Amino acid sequence: MPYAPAPRLRLRPGDRKRLEAVVRKRTSSQRQALRARIILLCADGVPHRQIK
Tens of pLDDT, residue by residue over 1-25, are 566 666 788 999 899 999 999 999 9
DSSP 8-state assignment for residue 12:
P
Tens of pLDDT, residue by residue over 30-41, are 999 999 999 999
Domain layout of the chain by residue ranges: 15-47
Q: Report the alpha-carbon distance of residue 24 to residue 22 in Å, rounded.
A: 6
Question: Cβ of 10: how many Cβ atoms within 10 Å?
Answer: 8
- Which pLDDT belongs to residue 26? 94
- CA distances, 8 to each of 3, 25, 48 (Å): 15, 26, 11
- Which pLDDT belongs to residue 1? 54
